Structure 1
Amino acid sequence: MTTSKSRLLSATTAAALLLASPAAAETLVVSWWGFNGDKLNEFIVQPFQEQCECELVFETGNNADRLNRVQIRGGAGVDVIYLSDSFAQIGVEAGLFQPIDRSLVPNIDGLYEMAQNPHGEFGPAYTIGRVGIVYDAERVTAPITQWEDLWRDDLANALSLPGITTTAGPMVVMIAGEKAGTDAFEDADPAFAEIEALRSNVVTNYNTGSEMINLFSTGEISVSLAQDFALGQLQQAVPSIVWAELEDGDIATLNTVNIPTGAANVELAHEFINFILDPERQALLARNGVDAPVATAVDLTEEEAAQWTYGDGMIAGLQRIDYTQMNAAKTAWIDRWNEVFGM
């Protein structure tokens, strides 16, 4: 069965389709965020359906909601799931994913090493991003060159931090620990003492990218932590915003693809993952503003690469996070963070 139109299904409908439809073997159910819908339809959905002579159906939502649905269904209901690396680690530890058969996904061998096996034998990363510092160069006169510059006296009442439950929030605790000369996973007390000292620089915490952009636009802040996918929108709103070149390196964020343990169409799931990792497909997605490429064979112009975490030098300079430790520490960190910021 071939179709030229993808359908968006609810979690319940998608699960029912797998259980009831006699054509389930020709259907691939993908769980992803649903951002860039038109571009994903043009560059992934339609061409893959033509290749596989199958139909793609979708579950959409945030990381936590979609992972929770898979867990409630005991690892069934979808064939491929897109997750950020922290949530993928939760899924691995919960036994929700099956190992990837690398022989069925040969394009993995052409990825940056960081992307090939971020969680061991499980799914690869299909894109790499980064968390760093952004600032308004017209209002911050001395360039920001290292993470501990966040504590500078000239940044009093100028800073917004990501909320502790966001992707970048817990990274602040790690950064504070490094400033204190300690490992925040081993001893969080010095890290939270540094966060308390940073409090005078903090105007507010933000929980969404749009909140952060608005804070810059209204002039309430001039410095923040950000993920690189927000840089383009930030600079559209405030052209004088720059991405800080940090001597101690930005922090890597990886988006991954995995096959749940109860996937109904495992072979087709492997084919799909190999498809999105193809260098030509990766280049097409990067040039059309969808995702940063992880295939090392992708060659972008300086202009095409400007918005992405791209190139051997940039990738090599990224810091990695141990999400096993991060996920174990996060609950206690949330409570302590809320005490500091009076939440």
Structure 2
Amino acid sequence: MHDRPRTATREHESRFRYAAEGFDRAHLQRIDPCWQAEARGSDQAHALIVWNDRSAVIEDRALRLPLRGLIDLAEPLFLGIEQGRPLFALDLSDMQRTQVEALLHGGRLDELRRIGPLLSYADAGVLAYARALCHWHRTQLHCGRCGRPTRVERAGHQRVCTGPDCACVHFPRTDPAIIVLVEHPDDDAAGPRCLLGRSARFPERMFSTLAGFVEPGETLEQAVAREVFEESGIELDRIRYFGSQAWPFPASLMIGFHARARTTAIRLEDDEIIEADWFTPEALDAAGEWGDAAELCLPRRDSIARALIEDWRGRVRSAGGPASGWTED
């Protein structure tokens, strides 16, 4: 087997949760039926249990169970090789919760969004991977082209239509979404500020960076400019890539940017954002955490939204003033 390729990442990006780092996805083994059959029957093979998007954990770590005693319960979905051992996901959503919990040897089923910040980066990553793959399989049981049933292929990384006149191949879905922290141009010399908004689905007083899905036929940068304008009425004159985060809730890839505003008057016309404002570093310093009873609350610490805010706030502190680092053309 080839060595696992090293992934070049920025320092901050390598610390985002929900990416399966240090993990061999073993793409060649996915397409080797003999290897798969041997791996499924091996005492070394383990499984991560998923039940209706909940993950099996024990205390503050992922619960890995021997696959051999579970293999007849559901189709094993091959995730890769972890520390030399084959690792699979099993979606037991068709079983009763009590039946599943009886298999967990003291473990429990929990929401990954709730426990993710408590897990190691490695465990959060593999659980997110398993959750996303199982979710896709549950929503792709029938062909989107002809409606016939689909079957699992390539150890769980494809589904193929069973219709002989169709045979359409379906791949796991990932939806790209941009997320952006917009910096005030400080054209009024009032000091550094960033734009945050509050969605109607957020808890009271929780503000975050602006975000939205990429539409067909547009670049990431065009999506950034469009989403910011649609949600706040702000126009941009600089856009810079920050990093990306796997976000399997259920199937997104969050692609982060910093941007500098060209206009500063906020105009809310999109009913998705019900409040937006420019916030100073001092206001962010006084903010509470998600769920706190504070005047202003920030996004959860496991999100790229929070990483964007902390990166900007850190650069402002380092510079002792406006610190966008933008280079003029």
More strand by share: 2
TM-score, normalised via structure 1 length:
0.25
TM-score, normalised via structure 2 length:
0.26
Name the structure, 1 or 2, with higher relative contact order (CA <8 Å, separation 6+). Answer: 1
More helix by share: 1
